[in-house]
Amino acid sequence: MPQQPDSNAVKQYLLGLQDTICQRLEALEGGAEFVRDAWDRPEGGGGVSRVISDGRIFEKGGVNFSHVMGDTMPASATAHRPHLAGAPWQAMGVSLVIHPNNPYVPTTHANVRFFIATPENGEPVYWFGGGYDLTPYYGFDEDCVHWHKTAEAACAPFGDDTYRRYKDWCDDYFYLRHRDEPRGVGGLFFDDHNTGDFEQDFGLMKSVGNSYIDAYEPIIRRRMDHTYGERERDFQLFRRGRYVEFNLVYDRGTLFGLQSGGRTESILMSLPPLVRWDYSRVPEAGSEEARLTEHFSPAATGWPMTRSNTRQVMNNELYAVVGHPINHSKSPRIHSVFASQTGEPVEYTAVQAPLDGFAATVRQFFEGGGKGLNVTVPFKEQAWDLAECRAARAEKSRCCQHTIPE
């Protein structure tokens, strides 16, 4: 006999997930906190919106829980399920969007959701959906690889091809067809998930939901103290326009929320506080701004996570140069070109460590699978102190330029 779906267990999990994500983001912020706003829906149900704004790290972010219900399913939910038209329904989920201040910290979105309908004289029909995606303004291969490795690990217990299918689905879904470009560097997306095994299906949603903050937090830590100026901020606001376009034109959650009489403030919480549109703006060829689409695009040769090379890149050896500042370094481009020309399985990026956080940055890099670091100013002496085994020249100069794990 098929397992009966346990809506209450799903609800309790989602409320706990909302708490966990908010707590970990607040710990990073170290000052600003999420404001809690509970709301009721006259047609049935309600939710809790939690919003953070004007923080040191987060310009605006929202982590929303909703549990809404009705007597007749909205059109967006019955387009592919006409047999459920007129059935009572419940929908619940956690949806979040984070817009950081620093242009080197990507915007991110995540959502996990559960839907159940009970047609007259029929068994309950349920499905799960969810996923997460990353939208950088200045991309780093290291961040992209970490993001996708975490997503792959979350999917691994649920089938060898689960990650690949949901990654491809994400690439297809988060695509601005009117501009013929992706919204970001992808991640996971799935919908209508029902294998008939409720516990297994619920387990998939939990695995994806739990892995989100593990995918995002290390990226925040690596980039949140990266120096930037008006140029980078201007480009961030320009690219945010793409984010707004997708959410208002294509996003299923936005359409469902508005069609089902959801709370408009919570539905449109995903929009950034500041954004700009420039007529026919095209970044200068070869610039860091142009690299976002020249390199980090499924259509671009060498993009770290195309459908054809995902496995290869995720198995590449990861190296980096670490310093403060680090924008000036040409090492990532030099090493990437060399690796491409020689066929070496290497990814090389730049990491700006906080002035008081070199040791933590090194630890996080190697815990994330990094193979080796070049060290530049002002951390060469700290690298010597951190190293447990030093070359003779390092002992003599009391500084290190390279570090590798034991």
Q: Which among 234, 227, 402 has a CA at the least distance from the CA of 331?
A: 402
Instruction: Give the angle subtended at the CA of 367 by the CAs of 365 and 368, to the nearest 5°.
Output: 65
Q: How far apart are CA 195 and CA 197, in angstroms?
A: 5
Q: How far apart are CA 362 and CA 368, in angstroms?
A: 10
Our answer to whether residue 109 is catalytic in this structure is: yes
Return all residues near 141 (Cβ < 8 A) that are at least 6 apart: 304, 313, 336, 347, 348, 349
* Helix H or strand E segment including 10: helix 7-29
Q: Which among 360, 385, 129, 329 has a CA at the least distance from the CA of 225?
A: 360
Return all residues near 294 (Cβ < 8 A) that are at least 6 apart: 285, 300
Instruction: Label residue 97 left, alpha or beta by phi (over 0 means left) and psi (-120 to 50 means alpha).
Output: beta
Q: Which among 354, 305, 296 has a CA at the least distance from the CA of 102?
A: 354
Q: Which residue out of 67, 80, 99, 109 is catalytically annotated?
A: 109
User: Distance of CA 256 to CAs 115, 166, 395, Å?
Assistant: 12, 21, 64
Catalytic positions, written as ranges? 109
